[in-house]
Amino acid sequence: MKALTANRLIDGEVVWLGRSGTWVETLAGAWLLETPEAVAEAEAAGAEAEAARLIVEPYLIDLTREDGEIQPVRFREKIRAKGPTVRLDLGKQARREVSAA
Amino acid sequence: MYRYDEFDAHFVSARVDQFRDQVQRRLAGDLTEDQFKPLRLMNGVYLQLHAYMLRIAIPYGTLNARQMRRLAHVARTYDRGYGHFTTRQNIQFNWPRLKDIPDILSQLAEVEMHAIQTSGNCIRNVTADHFSGAAADEILDPRPYAEILRQWSSLHPEFSYLPRKFKIAVTGAPHDRAAVQVHDIGLQAVRDADGNVGFRVFVGGGLGRTPMVGRLVREFLPEADLLAYSEAILRVYNRYGRRDNKYKARIKILVHETGLEELKADIEAEFAEIRDGVLTLPASEIERITAYFAPPAFDVAVGDEAVLEAAIAADPQLEAFAARNVHPHRAPGYASLTISLKPIGKAPGDATAEQMEVVADLAERYGHDEIRVSHEQNLVLPHVRRRDIPAIHAALAEAGLAEANAGLVTDIIACPGLDYCALATARSIPVAQRISERFASPERQREIGDLKIKISGCINACGHHHVGHIGILGVEKKGEEYYQITLGGSADENTSVGEIIGRGFSYDEVVDAIEKVVDTYVGLRETPQEDFLAAYRRVGDQPFKEALYGTA
Ligand code: HEM
Ligand code: SF4
């Protein structure tokens, strides 16, 4: 299982490609890519968003399901999805409440 | 302190306008990321793990209260209320929005600051001893020369596209506090028998994946030839430095592959062609720049020592602070103070906007309006009266800045590591925090004595781990963080690169391992005065290996 991630051009915010083709600010909203077709479609959407100046440097990450929750495989991507492990008041982890949007 | 002249002010503000235009063109789609990236890097803007990062130059680590307040303002208005002071005497903000950066830069330009040449393959911010112009052991203040080098290297047309980045450091004291031997060019100011000023010149030092100690290429370079000789070195590097492989592109590799003698001959040949030309520094120009760095009018202090001693006798915290964070000053009755950005358990080098303002206030009130950033990621008030130390200490304590640990085991250098950095392979900040907590007891720290622990989150070595008495390098092994320990590194006048002691340790194990190394040292030193390096150089790595891995 994969997802497509990038940073938003205008402010650098970490984003993932969402199910509806929009770019979302939390991993929970990411489109989970389970087939080669989905991956190809996502990558095309990424290239398009890059050309449209929404995001920079999109790339695929690996995901797993841990205790029913979707998690990035690499530690680096876990930190990107949450924020600095040394500053729990910063990054996405600091605004869990609004993550549903 | 150096003040911008009209040319400087115009140059910096034109640069801000130019970058504002570049950002607009990027957002409007007239520039692709491939086109824009080198432009943003030339203005100190990186893209990191969570956001953009802005690196702002603090030339030779010197700033005044107004500048520090402006950094606080930027932290509060455009970032998340804090900044990170780095080993290159700069400051980094971790959360700026691209669209705000032109405004940030224009705010900085108002106080004579910028982010030019803090990134990219050019001559970077010139660093210097953080006690410059103050230290009791100083031969001369190196900052005028650092400033001259800065002016020469700023947008130098020939050296804007070097094979790789290029770092210069200058010290004016025999005891090297600027780590000059791990820079591409390291300069140590000296005087000859007749009192003439010159430099010992080291070339080809560097850390990263291939650490090397700089080689002495000139025993005495007359000050007038500083620029011509530097230009000769850069020309040779620019011509022969490798561009085919970025891991082999630094001048240290050129020194290594060409051989010192041949390279020296190349530099001398180039120098012979340009010496006595336009780059020769007239004495009047050196004087003009030096005047900006004239020492403040020191009061002739009477009775200061008694005031300080009485306060110390009444306050053990102040006593500890005075013992570690107060350094000898050239003027009687004065001292330089280290403001530790290493409170126990905190991220090394981080300061909040409020803390920056406290430091700015203290500098203005007690410190002749001068602040320094040290490459050890601390702040310094270079000129304070000894009688004012109790008041300064009290104000620092209130701001959480009075940790009396300068040069001790908890005064750890750490790069941002995997918590922020896109290149990292492991975290470094939390390792520093846990070590700091493990050794939190002030008595234990004082018993251990001087000790430098330095941590990097990847092989790029921004945390100087190679030259830590104890170095820690974070790597990734099978998806887990792993930490390699090196021992015996040093970045002073006897620079050495540490040696890997053995297999690495997991994130959970590494603090225990460091404690074992420290305890082993304390157990085997001949006297409490024998520092870690001396002990290590005497006994070698065997006792440490045994302590870490058993006798096998
Ligand atoms: C967070 C973004 C950063 C990035 C992307 C970055 C990147 C790099 C890279 C690629 C190198 C190796 C260069 C080479 O060997 O050619 C390097 C070296 C270095 N960096 Fe950083 N760095 C970052 C942050 C820092 C920080 C925060 C500091 C200061 C604490 C710092 C100070 C240094 C130093 C001192 C070196 C090694 C000295 C040398 O150039 O030989 N860097 N950095
Ligand atoms: S050493 Fe590596 S992890 Fe640390 S700041 Fe430098 S590039 Fe990043």
Spatial contact of B454 and B463, defined as CB atoms under 8 Å apart: yes
- Tally Cβ neighbours within 10 Å of residue B377: 27
β-partners of residue B283 are: none
Q: Tell whether ligand 1 has an atom less than 6 A from the beta carbon of residue B421.
A: yes
Q: How confident is the model at residue B552 (pLDDT cuts 50, 70, 90)?
A: low
Q: Which secondary-structure segment (H or E) carries B7?
A: helix B6-28
Residues of B in contact with A74 (CB under 8 A): 479
Nearest to B176 by CA among B405, B536, B490: B490
Tokens of B19: 């970058």
Pairing of strands B470-477, B453-456: parallel
Task: Report d(CA B147, CA B153) in Å as an integer.
Answer: 10
Q: How far is B474 from chain A (nearest CA, A)?
A: 13
Q: Name the CATH topology of B6-110.
A: Sulfite Reductase Hemoprotein; domain 2 (3.90.480)
Lowest average pLDDT, out of B139-153, B232-246, B293-307, B364-378, goes to: B293-307
The percentage of residues in chain B with a pLDDT greater than 90, rounded to a whole number, is: 84
Nearest one of B143, B92, B144, B82 to B115, comparing CA atoms: B92
Q: Which residues of B touch A15 (CB under 8 A)?
A: none
CATH of domain B304-398: 3.90.480.20
CA B80 remoteness from chain centre: 23
CATH number 3.30.413.10 given to B135-291: yes
Residue B515 backbone phi and psi in degrees, to 5: -65, -40
Asked if A82 has any chain B CB less than 8 Å from its own CB, the reply is no
Kindly determine whether residue A75 and residue B479, on different chains, have CB atoms separated by under 8 Å.
yes
Selecting from 3.20.20.70, 3.90.25.10, 3.30.413.10, 3.50.50.60, what CATH number does the domain B413-549 have?
3.30.413.10
A9 in contact with chain B, both atoms CB, cutoff 8 A: yes
Do B304-398 and B413-549 fold alike per CATH? no
Closest CB to B50: pick one of A56, A75, A80. A80
Band (pLDDT 50/70/90 cuts) for residue B197 is: very high
Give the pLDDT of residue B120: 84
Domain boundaries defined on chain B: 6-110, 135-291, 304-398, 413-549
Question: B427 vs A11: CB contact, 8 Å cut-off?
Answer: no
* DSSP reduced 3-state for B431: helix
Centroid of ligand 1 to alpha carbon of B136 (angstroms): 31
Question: DSSP letter string over B435-504?
Answer: HHHHT--HHHHHHH-S--EEEESSTT-TT-GGGSSEEEEEEEETTEEEEEEEES-B-STT-B--EE-SS-
> Which tokens is B314 given?
């009444």
Residues of A in contact with B480 (CB under 8 A): 75
What does the pLDDT read at residue A68?
A: 85
ipTM of the prediction: 0.93
pLDDT at B203 (0 to 100): 92
B138 and B77 Cβ atoms separated by less than 8 Å: no
Residue A11 has pLDDT above 90, yes or no: yes
**pLDDT greater than 70 at residue A99:** no
**CB–CB of B427 and A85 under 8 A?**
yes
Please give the number of the atom of ligand 1 that sits closest to the Cα of B246. Answer: 16
Task: Give the helix/strand (H/E) hosting B145.
Answer: helix B143-153
Asked if residues B140 and B130 have their Cβ atoms less than 8 Å apart, the reply is no
| B96-117 tens-digit pLDDT | 999 999 999 999 999 999 999 8
Q: Which atom of ligand 1 is nearest to the CA of B209?
A: 15
Looking at residues B237-264, what average pLDDT do you find?
90
Q: Does residue B246 or residue B416 have the better pLDDT?
A: B416
Contacts of B283 (CB under 8 A, 6+ apart): B224
Q: Using a 6 Å cutoff on CB, does residue B93 contact ligand 1?
A: no
pTM for the model stands at: 0.93
Give the model confidence (pLDDT) of B139-180 as tens digits.
999 999 999 999 999 888 898 889 899 999 999 999 999 899
* Mean pLDDT calculated for residue range A68-95: 94
Q: How far is the CA of B462 from the centre of ligand 1 (A)?
A: 4
Q: In what order do the strands lie in the sheet with A23-24?
A: A23-24, A14-17, A2-8, A55-66, A69-72
Q: What is the mean pLDDT of residues B321-345?
A: 96
Specify whether the CB–CB gap between B202 and B219 falls below 8 A.
Answer: no
> pLDDT by residue (tens digit) across A24-40?
999 999 999 999 999 99
Interface of A with B in 14-73 (CB under 8 A): 14, 50, 53, 56-57, 73
In sequence order, what DSSP letters do the residues of B69-124 get, joined into one string?
Answer: HHHHHHHHHHSSSEEEE-TTS-EEES---GGGHHHHHHHHHHTT---TTSSSSSB-
Q: What is the CA radius of gyration of chain A?
A: 13
Mean model confidence pLDDT for chain B? 94
Nearest to A76 among B52, B96, B418 (CB): B418
